[in-house]
Amino acid sequence: MVGVVIFGGLSDKFGRKAVILPSATVATVGALAFVLSGNYALLLFAMGLMMFGEGIAGPAPVAFAADIAQQKGLGGVGVGLFRTFGDLGFVLGPVAAGFVADNASYSWAFMVSEIMLLVTGVLLWFVAKEPRREPAPAAGGGIQRVSRVG
């Protein structure tokens, strides 16, 4: 919860990608440390690092999706699709990881996660364009308008 308050404000101030990319990096390092952990203490540290990395992102990915959905004129439908696919991953991810672990190893299950995190980070860095947020007039109560940059 602390991460949501701190890093949510940072994503508003510095941009969504400026928070999401470091978050993904920390989570990726944590997952790699998990794969390489040779003892219980390192395993716990790696899990904590992964959770911290995921917590850093906080609301930034949803806000990023909302910014893009608003820009594309999709509004709530765009955010709903984002949540739907997120929930689908939440349900199917453990099943897929279990399949990989059963047919290869737990290390490979985390390596698949690593690869997905890296691919997502690269796509976010090079492909995703962050909309520019312009402050609305004072009467707008702090609501921001979104326009595309790049």
| Through-space distance between the first and last CA atoms of the chain, rounded to whole angstroms | 33
Structural domain including 87 reads: 2-147
pLDDT tens per residue, range 64-108: 888 888 888 887 888 888 889 989 989 999 999 999 999 998 888
pLDDT band with cut points at 50, 70 and 90 for residue 143: low
CA distance 22 to 114: 15
For residue 69 the two structure tokens come to 């959905």
C-alpha distances (whole Å) from 6 to each of 1, 3, 66, 68 are 9, 5, 19, 22
pLDDT tens per residue, range 40-63: 999 899 989 988 888 888 788 888
Q: What is the DSSP letter of 138?
A: G
The mean-pLDDT minimum among 35-44, 104-113, 127-136 falls in 127-136
Secondary structure class of 135 (helix, strand, coil): strand
pLDDT tens per residue, range 16-43: 888 889 888 898 898 888 888 888 999 8
Q: What are the backbone dihedrals phi and psi of residue 65, each rounded to the nearest 5 degrees, phi first?
A: -60, -40
Count up the domains in the chain and report the number. Answer: 1
CA distance 77 to 70: 10
Q: What is the CATH number of the domain that holds 59?
A: 1.20.1250.20
**For position 75, what pLDDT does the model report?**
78
For residue 94 the two structure tokens come to 């453990």
